[in-house]
């Protein structure tokens, strides 16, 4: 009975069975099948996300990373900090209580790549900016266990001795513009100078940073020293802006009143 029902369709499969030595045809069919099965699913699931701009919150006050902050972000990636620290506060009460308002999609809008992370060996850093002083951050990076005895974080004292390479910053900002971060020509052209300027307050280069990136920009000594621009400056500048690119999360999620 089953066989009878299937008979009209048998042809489809018999073609293959007969063509024993038309071997390529089998393997090509298999290839096509695998590609079809594996690509359509992913495409259907991912494609809508590229039209997401219209439904995601918009944050008009969203600012860009300054060259120094971007350099710091690149160091954060280079050292693999993202392997132990997430930057994504989930929509769970205890996370909001511990780390602050949950993360919005718009906050990582310009993050190429995103650093949401997958493991919290250390705490989440999505809103760590300005939670501690520059001095605390520097001392903690130099010797984490001096400040938190139980910490298992690696020490990064060498950052304090490593001069920050700034020559490549215009190229890096330009690459970021290619993938969609709206840096202006002016910002790209001055990237190297601005990186240094952000770490020497009350100077002409520092004024240039404020002019190009807004008065809200953190212009400080960061590593505590004026005479040298180090990788520590960059990393601390980056850490201090985390969660500070837009005020939207704080505005839309008022603190829980008891």
Partner 1 sequence: MMTRLMATERQGALILSGLVALAGLILAAAGRGDPMGVHGWITLVFAGGVLLIALRALDAPEPTEDRLASYYDDPTKVGILLALFWAVVGMGMGVWVAAQLAWPELRFDAPWSSFGRLRPVHTSGVIFGFGGNALIATSFHVMQRTSRARLAGHLSPWFVLLGFNLFCLVAASGYLMGVTQSKEYAEPEWYADIWLVIVWVVYFVLYMRTLARRNEPHIYVANWYYLAFILVVAMLHIVNNLAVPASFGAAKSYSAFAGVQDAMTQWWYGHNAVAFFLTAGFLGMLYYFLPKRAERPIYSYRLSILSFWGIVFFYIWAGSHHLHYTALPQWVQTLGMTFSVMLLVPSWASAGNALMTLNGAWHKVRDDATLRFMMLAAVFYGLSTFEGSFMAVRAVNSLSHYTDWTVGHVHAGAMGWVALISFGSIYAVVPLLWRKEAMYSWKLVESHFWLALAGTVIYVFAMWNSGITQGLMWRTYTESGTLAYSFTETLVAMRPYYIARVIGGALFLAGAVIGAYNVYMTIRVAGHQAPQIDYPTGSEANEPAVPAAE
Partner 2 sequence: MDLTYEATSTFAKSFGLIYLIVLSVGITAYAFWPSLGKRFDKAAKSLLDDEDGPCR
- Residues from 55 through 114 that contact partner 1 (CB under 8 A): 55-56, 74, 77-84, 86, 88, 90-92, 94-95, 97-98, 103-114
Any contact of residue 45 with partner 2 (CB under 8 A)?
A: yes
Non-local (6+) Cβ contacts of 138 within 8 A are 160, 222, 223, 224, 232, 236
Task: Please state the closest distance from residue 179 (CB atom) to partner 2, in A.
Answer: 20
Complex with partner 1: residue 131 or 210, whichever CB lies closer: 131
* Cα angle value 58/129/141 (rounded, 5°): 145
Contacting residue, 1, 17, 23, 179, with partner 2 by CB under 8 A: 17
Inter-helix orientation angle 169-178/67-78, to 10°: 90
Cβ contacts of 231 within 8 Å, gap of 6 or more: 71, 75, 159, 162, 163, 164
Name which of partner 2, partner 1, none residue 215 binds, using a CB cut-off of 5 to 8 Å depending on partner kind: none
Q: Which stretch binds partner 2 (CB under 8 A): 1-9, 22-30, 187-195, 228-236?
A: 1-9
Candidate residues 6, 10, 15, 38; the one interacting with partner 1 per rule CB under 8 A: 38
Return the residues of window 51-70 that contact partner 2 according to CB under 8 A. Answer: 51-55
Cα dihedral angle (32, 38, 40, 41), rounded to 10 degrees? 160
Cβ atoms of 153 and 122 within 8 Å: the answer is: yes
Contact 237, 68 (CB under 8 A): yes
Taking CB under 8 A as the criterion, the residue among 129, 155, 160, 189 binding partner 1 is 155
If contact means CB under 5 to 8 A according to the sort of partner, which of partner 2, partner 1, none does residue 150 touch?
A: partner 1
Instruction: Please identify, using beta-carbon distances, which residue of 59 and 71 lies nearer to partner 2.
Output: 59
Task: Return the range that interacts with partner 2 (CB under 8 A); candidates 35-43, 136-144, 195-203, 220-228.
Answer: 35-43
- Contact by Cβ (8 Å): 219, 209: yes
Contacts (Cβ under 8 Å, ≥6 apart) of 165: none
Q: Return d(Cα 1, Cα 254) in angstroms, integer.
A: 68
Q: Is 179 in the site for partner 2 (CB under 8 A)?
A: no
Q: Closest CB to partner 1 among 211 and 251?
A: 251
Stretch of 21-29, 134-142, 200-208, 233-241 contacting partner 1, by CB under 8 A: 21-29
């Amino acid at each position: 009975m089953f066989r009878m029902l299937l008979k009209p369709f048998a042809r489809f499969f018999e073609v293959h069975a007969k063509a024993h030595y038309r071997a390529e045809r089998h393997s090509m069919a298999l290839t096509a099948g695998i590609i079809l099965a594996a690509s359509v699913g992913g495409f259907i699931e991912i494609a809508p996300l590229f039209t997401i701009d219209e439904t995601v919150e918009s944050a008009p006050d969203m600012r860009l990373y300054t060259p120094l902050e971007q350099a710091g972000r690149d160091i954060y990636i280079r050292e693999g900090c993202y392997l132990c620290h997430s930057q994504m506060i989930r929509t769970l009460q205890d996370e909001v209580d511990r780390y602050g308002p949950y993360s919005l999609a718009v906050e990582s809008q310009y993050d190429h790549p995103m650093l949401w992370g997958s493991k919290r060996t250390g705490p989440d850093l999505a809103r760590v900016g300005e939670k501690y002083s520059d001095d605390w951050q520097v001392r903690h990076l130099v010797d984490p266990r001096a400040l938190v005895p139980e910490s298992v974080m690696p020490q990064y004292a060498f950052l304090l001795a490593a001069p920050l390479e700034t020559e490549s910053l215009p190229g890096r900002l330009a690459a970021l513009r290619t993938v969609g971060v709206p840096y202006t020509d002016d910002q790209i052209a001055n990237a190297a100078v601005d990186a240094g300027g952000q770490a020497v307050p009350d100077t002409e280069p520092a004024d240039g940073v404020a002019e190009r990136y807004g008065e809200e920009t953190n212009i400080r000594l960061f590593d505590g020293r004026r005479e040298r621009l180090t990788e520590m400056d960059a990393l601390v500048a980056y850490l201090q802006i985390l969660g500070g690119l837009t005020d939207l999360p704080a505005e839309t999620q008022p603190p829980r009143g008891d």
